[in-house]
Amino acid sequence: MLDKLKKAKKAINKKTGWISKPRTRLVGGKKAITAKKSRRKGKQASFLILAKLESNPIITAKSENGWEDAQTFNPGVVLLEDKVHFLYRAIGKDSISRLGYARSSDGFRIEERLAYPIYEHKPTKRVFNYFSFASGGSFGGCEDPRLVRIGREDTLYMTYTACDEGLRVALTSIKVEDFLQKKWKWKSPRLISLPGEVHKNWVIFPEKINGKYGLLTSINPKVLIDYVDNLEFEKDRYIKSDYNDVCRKQSWDSFVRGAGPPPIKTKYGWLLFYHAIDKRSLGKYKVGAMLLDLFDPTKVLRRLKEPILAPEESYENNGFKAGVVYASGAVIKDSLLLIYYGGADSNVCVAYADFDKFLEALNKEVKPKLKIKILKKKK
């Protein structure tokens, strides 16, 4: 087991160009059981290993850009041409939430970042929006994008929370070619959730399911998915969803909030990350993982009994909203699962794991005694 852990460590370091400085602990602050001790007892240690960069966060506010000089967080991401493209939420001097663009070749180092916003939602009325301020600190605009390419279609779709008539889910799209060439020809957005209702965290599946597009709109108290023939929402066409804060008693996710990144297709099912709060420690957002059936994603096949991410680092506990990790983007690159999340509603961070090992542990419902490795950049 120790040899396997060492090989995995070397493989990750070789791929990322970082060297590891181990710091072992469990989410929740308990000391991890080492593989050596486990072997003495004749048991095999099973760890869901996540790594956080010592240089986290990877995107922070820029004082020279007024539109993003306060907060940069909660990115939507997409993998195109083997590069990770980010659309991150930004708030600046005027307290309006907009989206900025950044790009990374290895998924860790930001090598390009535009100095101007590439998307802004124009509300029907410019009024103070309490719901928006409570959900991230802005007085209006667009929040928490989720990017997805469906199959090999030549279009990227983006769902986001629109600060429009409260908080509603909006949908827009852009051609892949225009996106790559930075021609920001976004299609006019449509508000697709019902008027008069507050909704967030809707995601689109990256493949059609039984010949239809699937939109996951709620995971509490059960998984709700709406299937449509196309994503062209005409006027007065809305999706009805239902969210209920039914508690899962005596559980870390007793108060389930909603889906994180768009689901990832795996051999075992759709891998879905989600946000939740333990009502015994209100205010601490954590991230969990579950597997949904490939053909009927309303069926939950597996759900980890512990969170995969929790707010433990300083950049996750110092900011506009302390104690928040909010995953909104994830990709598989070079055999690694890369999870992008907002820390304290103030910055963009990344955590990763060996994808195959993570998936096997999730499929076996292993209790994740998380071994967090803080990575130190090579000099």
Distance CA 306, CA 321 (A): 22
Q: Which residues contact 57 (CB under 8 A, 6 or more apart)?
A: 315, 343, 347, 348, 349
The residue type found at 313 is E
Would you state the structure tokens that stand for residue 202, as one six-digit string? 């809707």
CATH number of the CATH domain containing 284: 2.115.10.20
Q: Is 97 left (phi over 0), alpha (psi -120 to 50) or beta?
A: beta
Would you state the structure tokens that stand for residue 72, as one six-digit string? 């940069």
Domain assignment of residue 168, given as a range: 2-377
For each of the chain's 379 residues, which pLDDT tens digit applies?
A: 444 434 444 544 444 444 333 333 333 333 332 233 333 333 333 456 678 888 899 999 999 999 999 999 999 999 999 999 999 999 999 999 999 999 999 999 999 999 999 999 987 665 555 555 555 557 789 999 999 999 999 999 999 999 887 889 999 999 999 999 999 999 999 999 999 888 999 999 999 999 999 999 999 888 999 999 999 998 889 999 987 766 677 788 888 779 999 999 999 999 999 999 887 777 789 999 999 999 999 999 999 888 999 999 999 999 999 999 999 999 999 999 999 999 999 999 999 999 999 999 888 877 655 555 555 544 4
Task: Give the number of other CB atoms < 10 A from CB of residue 366.
Answer: 17
| 66 φ, ψ (degrees, to nearest 5) | -60, -30
Number of domains in the chain: 1
The reported pTM is: 0.86
What length does the chain have? 379
The candidate with the shortest Cα–Cα distance to 225, out of 297, 274, 284, is 297
User: What's the DSSP call for residue 34?
Assistant: P
